Amino acid sequence: MTTVADPLLSIRDLEVTFTTEEGPTTAVRGARFDVMAGETVAVVGESGSGKSTTAMAVIGLLAQNGRVSGGQVLVDGHDVATLGGAGMARMRGRVIGMVPQDPMSNLNPVARVGDQIVEALEDNGVARGGAARRRAVELLEEAGLPDAARRAGQYPHEFSGGMRQRALIAMGLSCRPRLLIADEPTSALDVTVQRTILDRLEALTTDLGTAVLLITHDLGLAAERAAKIVVMYRGEVVEVGPAAQLLTDPQHEYTRRLLAAAPSLASRRIQLARRLGATSAVGDDLLAMSAETPTDEKAAVDARAGEASTEHDDSPIVEVKDVSKVFSLRGSSLFSRGQRFTAVDGVSFQIPRGKTVAIVGESGSGKSTVARMMLDLIPPTSGEITFNGRAVGGTDRAAEVRFRRQVQPIFQDPYASLDPLYTIHRTIEEPLRAHRFGTAAERRDRVHALMADVALPLDLLGRYPAELSGGQRQRVAIARALALNPDLVVCDEAVSALDVIVQSQILHLLADLQHRLGLSYLFISHDLAVVRQIADHVCVMERGRIVEQGTVDDVFDRPQQEYTRVLLDAIPGRDLQLGLEAG
């Protein structure tokens, strides 16, 4: 038993260097923090901050080209670097366990789940044979997997994402390690599943007295789950402190930005502010911006809207009436009739002009299918979508071109939505060229104006998408979408793939563009916290149906459906003190 003063894990001025094509890169610089026995510590930071690299250095699983180039990792006072390969392998599993990020790729697809746990038990000499098999079932039960005895005999592909993550938790805890490293253990899962998994993990580690090193990008989640938070930024630890103190009294500038950006916290602040009648959270509520639109700008917006659509009135820009989409799946044998799968089932909603309607749901709820139908990329099986009073999806090429000018998409993954062979200039110019907009010089001016609109420097124009950061790419995608002055922009998880601070910048940009240009948004997201900030109306989708819709205030303050309540509860940081009550 270690004494109170001795930390279980002690990271002393850790430096990790990767050898890359461009020479050595330091990924972690002078990181320093401790984890006490039984304590939960969260490491928070954006992608590339070095948080995962630090965790990998602790368990000795850095990538081939990475090495600890300075400092020490002390486990129980012993320097991990002196252990060597075999000693390190002995330590893994028994002293330090790990729950990896992606449950889809971290189980061996050709071995039964139970056998994979038995393997871990036998390799570490915890149990063998029949005893190990019985133990594996117990562990799976412990991790909250129902019907564990039968499930242990199944293969990973028969498991859902949440079940796989439970199996990985069982595996990580199988040899009763004293420290468990959980690297974004739930970010690949649906929000409702996320919450139950984290609850289970917390209960288990508390019972067993296991210390947890939780790696996450979500400050709200970290504050909810950990006693102590380590904030990392560009390879350095910028702040360490108790969670409560960090939330109310952040010391470092980056922590403050992170606090301001985290959607879970921002949406919480809006809720709290509303309840308290305070106005301190107005900055988080992006809708508040449009209320403050100066009158001359509003006039400009109105003028523009008037020229764009002849029927400028209060009628909704989009009406979706009882739309369904049925996919036929390929049959199992050559002659069997293919199965039919109803992705969207009798969905109806409207998008008021100049407003944002969000569709929220978990994976498989059919929300993206609605977006694709709205974009006329796939036809609905039944029902009708009207845009500016005209039915969407005719065979008339001229009508299609007109529709496409007015409705533009922004997709989730900015890495995939730009043609890698096109320079930024060519990417943004393409829609102008395709619709024969002006002369080359006029098009160049327009491209420059669009770059300014999305706050990108002009020297990026000659670059290729691969040379831009994720946030920059998403700005390019937005500029391209705006090139033709659309009326409606369909944002399909447009900020989900971005880091929180970038996410918040893009959300601000979208809100700003909306009130300057009078845009209407259809905003598809799985993240209610983000929706809280940007949407006027919310439609909650579950298994192809809209189970609840209303104004964002109604849905968040007075949810009518159990499913909506579960989704709302899953936003991390439910019970956090954000320092607003006092103010």
User: Smallest distance, Å, CB 70 to other proteins?
Assistant: 21
User: Smallest distance, Å, CB 240 to other proteins?
Assistant: 23
User: Smallest distance, Å, CB 22 to other proteins?
Assistant: 6
User: Smallest distance, Å, CB 418 to other proteins?
Assistant: 6
User: Smallest distance, Å, CB 93 to other proteins?
Assistant: 31
Sequence-distant (6+) residues with CB within 8 A of 139 are 117, 170, 171, 173, 174
Q: What angle do CA 471, 476, 481 make, to 5 degrees?
A: 125
Nearer to other proteins, 31 or 477 (CB): 477
The DSSP secondary structure of 100-117, one letter per residue, reads: -S-TTTSS-TTS-HHHHH
Sequence-distant (6+) residues with CB within 8 A of 213 are 9, 35, 41, 43, 55, 58, 179, 180, 181, 182
Going by C-alpha positions, the residue among 323, 319, 302, 321 that lies closest to residue 389 is 319
Going by C-alpha positions, the residue among 203, 148, 212 that lies closest to residue 183 is 212
User: Smallest distance, Å, CB 294 to other proteins?
Assistant: 11
- Cα(399)–Cα(390) distance, integer angstroms: 9
**Residue 175: how many other CB atoms lie within 10 Å:** 20
Buried b (16+ CB within 10 A) or exposed e, 536-565: bbbbbbbebbbbbbbebeebbeebeeebbe
User: Smallest distance, Å, CB 136 to other proteins?
Assistant: 35
Nearer to other proteins, 49 or 356 (CB): 49
Nearer to other proteins, 115 or 512 (CB): 512
Nearer to other proteins, 510 or 546 (CB): 510
Buried b (16+ CB within 10 A) or exposed e, 369-384: bbbbbbbbeeebbebe
Nearer to other proteins, 94 or 444 (CB): 444
Helices (runs of H) and strands (runs of E) counted in the chain: 22, 20
Nearer to other proteins, 174 or 505 (CB): 505
User: Smallest distance, Å, CB 161 to other proteins?
Assistant: 22
User: Smallest distance, Å, CB 303 to other proteins?
Assistant: 11
Nearer to other proteins, 53 or 186 (CB): 53
- Cα(339)–Cα(345) distance, integer angstroms: 16
CA 12 to chain centre: 31
User: Smallest distance, Å, CB 463 to other proteins?
Assistant: 5
User: Smallest distance, Å, CB 490 to other proteins?
Assistant: 8
User: Smallest distance, Å, CB 97 to other proteins?
Assistant: 30
Q: What is the largest CA-CA distance in the chain?
A: 79
- The answer to whether the beta carbons of residues 551 and 285 sit under 8 Å apart is no
Going by C-alpha positions, the residue among 360, 347, 385 that lies closest to residue 535 is 360
What are the helix (H) ranges across 319-436? 367-374, 397-406, 424-434
User: Smallest distance, Å, CB 89 to other proteins?
Assistant: 29
Nearer to other proteins, 193 or 344 (CB): 344
Query: Which amino acid is located at 515 in the chain?
Result: H
- Cα(241)–Cα(230) distance, integer angstroms: 7
Nearer to other proteins, 155 or 415 (CB): 415
Sequence-distant (6+) residues with CB within 8 A of 242 are 227, 228, 229
Residues that bind other proteins (CB under 8 A): 21-22, 48, 257, 261, 300, 304, 372, 375, 377, 400-401, 403-405, 407-409, 411-413, 416-421, 423, 430-431, 434-435, 449, 452-453, 455-457, 462-464, 466-467, 469-472, 475, 477, 480, 484-485, 499, 501-502, 504-505, 508-509, 512, 516-517
Nearer to other proteins, 43 or 375 (CB): 375
Going by C-alpha positions, the residue among 459, 458, 455, 431 that lies closest to residue 443 is 431
- The answer to whether the beta carbons of residues 462 and 444 sit under 8 Å apart is no
Nearer to other proteins, 92 or 425 (CB): 425
Nearer to other proteins, 197 or 287 (CB): 287
Nearer to other proteins, 153 or 338 (CB): 338
Alpha carbon separation from 211 to 202, 207, 218 (Å, rounded) = 10, 11, 20
Nearer to other proteins, 116 or 504 (CB): 504
- Cα(386)–Cα(19) distance, integer angstroms: 55
Nearer to other proteins, 210 or 408 (CB): 408
Beta strands in 421-518 (DSSP E): 488-492
User: Smallest distance, Å, CB 380 to other proteins?
Assistant: 17
User: Smallest distance, Å, CB 338 to other proteins?
Assistant: 16
Paired with 488 in beta bridges are 407, 520
Tokens of 221: 């989640």
Tokens of 475: 């700005």
